[in-house]
A and B are shown apart, each in its own frame.
Chain A
Amino acid sequence: MVAAIEIDGLTKRYGDVTALDGVSLSVPEGSFFGLLGPNGAGKTTFINILVGLARKSGGEARVFGHDIETEYRAARDRVGLAPQEFNVDRFFPIREVLEHKAGYHGIPSPEARQRADEALKQVGIYEKRDTRFDWLSGGMKRRFLIARALVTDPDLLILDEPTAGVDVQLRHDLWELITDLNEGGTTILLTTHYIEEAERLCDEVAILDQGRVVTVATPGDLMDRGTDRITVTFRDPIRSTPSIAAGNGQVEAVEIRDGRLVVSASQGGLVAPELVRELDAAGYEIVDLDVSRTSLEEVFVELTRSDSSVTEEGTA
């Protein structure tokens, strides 16, 4: 199967500044792929190169097997983009803006109108079809950008911070919409600052930092790389740290907090049963156990903390 996006050694320089530094990754067709990274990591530059709004300085990029420069028309025909910025034609009502967008993709006028209506209904702003973009609320503007990306029925939907600044209800509505699209076969490339969003939606995420891919993995795999916390509460609070042999090297730290035992370990869920057995055998009376998994956010912060975190794991 041809990958939806295939990137090899992609580089983008602005004078002395390197925005993308040899990025390589592959996004499988039909997947829900997240692109995470702090501000200035190169996420939007990456997207802009894919859709023709920025020119690469080096490397290769293909969309469904089509080179983004030599076969730009075929590549762009498969893509729908909902950008971070509100870059909408203010001269026309939103339905006409969608009709124009469909027309630019070669969709004849009657079908373009039908698709425009469907896209507006899909995102729930059909009743605003004769309104100009400026008169929409912030949430409706965000919905409209997604409608514009959907009007051409793209095989690859690129969403650049789609839920930035929207309320919780709308965020959940948009999650539901894009999840449905993905289940229908549309490949999704999502950039987001909300780690919860990536954790909840994405099959796989790439973490980008300072123009380089730090890692590509499933959210679950990433979280396994973090440190979990096991908190054990005893009937009688303890004052000295017991000797812990459990965990087979996975235990990173043991400490006492307010009479409770706090054990930091990778894959804490696996360590906990062994720990309980060991403490029980040593005569400790356990009344409560809590295993707190590391969050994707903590892993993200750890991976993007410093230059030294950059590894050679760029190629997925």
Chain B
Amino acid sequence: MSRPTVQLRTLVRREILRFVRRPYNTFLPPIITNTLYFAVFGVILGSRIGSIAGVSYIQFVLPGLVVLGSISDAFENASFSIFHGRWNDYIDAVIVTPMSNLNMVASYVIASAIRGIVTALLIVGVGLVFTSVPISHPFYLAANVLVITTLFGGLGIIGGLWADDFDYLTVMNQFILRPLVFFGAVFYSLSVLPPLWRQVSLLNPMVYMVNGVRYGMIGVSEVDPNTSLAVLSTATVAVLAADYLLFRRGYGLTE
């Protein structure tokens, strides 16, 4: 195994162990939260709503919940790890090593994407308790989940480098990310919106993520799935490039 591979593997492993060893803090919350979502929106309210796009309401909201959970956790993983390391200065122990900037960025992103994917699988697992989970287009499903968790792992790095306090993380997660996801057609179809709000919604990047995953699961999308995937992939590459440049510049890491 080459030295860069050993370095990458070490930091990825460290990041994964950090969240695996604290399941009450990392895995249990999405299980509880999504159980409540499925119970309330899927079973109690869903039975009154009937079907949307040819599937039951609970199946309709499932892809959106997968997106909500996976991107939140991918973002939180990278942003918390980097911010906490800066806050307590132990990220210095990584910075002073011969690891390349590219390797450091890749490690944080890979671990965060893995956390997001694990969360996605947990949410699907919870969903299976309440309903059947169709997989209409496995490639689109896998590609979309991979791209969005990578994208939000990358955004988490930017957040972790930018944050000066724990409040910043809360602002990013609760006041920016979560509202965008909730208005990203997780719980409703864009077709129920008035034309103006439907157009406004299309400016929300979460719409494309939710629809991409929804297309992969139930085969229904209100935007072209290829366009969604291409736009999201481009955004991911741009964010990763920004991550690399920030690390190279030492933004938030060096004096």
Contact = CB atoms under 8 A, between A and B. Distances in A.
A92 B11 CA distance: 13
Nearest to B5: A106
A55 B98 contact: no
A108 B255 contact: no
A90 B90 contact: yes
A104 interface: yes
A54 B254 CA distance: 5
Interface in B83-98: 85, 88-90, 92-98
B10 interface: yes
A73 B6 CA distance: 15
Interface string A138-152: 000000000010000
A2 B89 CA distance: 32
A14 B97 contact: no
Interface string B215-255: 00000000000000000000000000000000000100011
A106 B6 contact: yes
Contact of A90 (B11, B88, B94, B96): B88
Interface string A157-180: 000000000000000000000000
A83 B1 CA distance: 31
Given A52-B96, A53-B96, A91 B18 contact: yes
A97 B96 CA distance: 14
B1 to A, nearest CB: 6
Contacts of A92: 14, 17
Interface string A36-55: 00000000010010011111
B99 interface: yes
A95 interface: no
| Size category of the binding interface on chain B | 20 to 34
Nearest to A51: B96
| Size category of the binding interface on chain A | 35 or more
B189 interface: no
A74 interface: yes
A88 interface: yes
Main secondary structure of the interface of B (DSSP, over half): helix
Nearest to A101: B93
A99 B17 CA distance: 13
A76 interface: yes
Given A92-B17, A104-B10, A107-B6, A53 B254 contact: yes
A104 B94 contact: yes
B56 interface: no
A14 B88 CA distance: 22
A44 to B, nearest CB: 10
Contacts of A76: 96-98
B7 A81 contact: no
Contact of B98 (A14, A73, A89, A148): A73
B9 interface: yes
Contacts of B96: 51-53, 76, 79, 81
B11 to A, nearest CB: 7
A97 B21 CA distance: 15
B99 A104 contact: yes
A100 B95 contact: no
B33 interface: no
B136 to A, nearest CB: 40
B6 A87 contact: no
B252 to A, nearest CB: 12
A85 interface: yes
A60 interface: no
Contact of B93 (A73, A77, A148): A148
A191 to B, nearest CB: 16
A45 B97 CA distance: 18
B3 interface: yes
A92 B92 CA distance: 16
Contact of A77 (B17, B21, B98): B98
A103 interface: yes
A263 to B, nearest CB: 50
Contacts of A109: 6, 10
A61 to B, nearest CB: 14
A277 interface: no
B138 interface: no
A108 B93 contact: no
B179 interface: no
A74 B98 CA distance: 7
B6 A108 contact: yes
A104 B254 contact: no
Contact of A103 (B6, B17, B100): B6
Given A51-B95, A103-B13, 8 more contacts: A88-B93, A91-B18, A91-B21, A96-B17, A97-B93, A100-B14, A101-B97, A106-B6
10 closest Cβ contacts across the A-B interface?
A103-B10, A106-B3, A87-B89, A104-B97, A54-B255, A77-B98, A73-B98, A51-B96, A89-B90, A76-B98
Interface of A: 14, 45, 48, 51-55, 72-74, 76-77, 79, 81, 83, 85, 87-92, 96-97, 99-101, 103-109, 112, 148
5 contacts: A51-B95, A51-B96, A54-B254, A54-B255, A104-B11
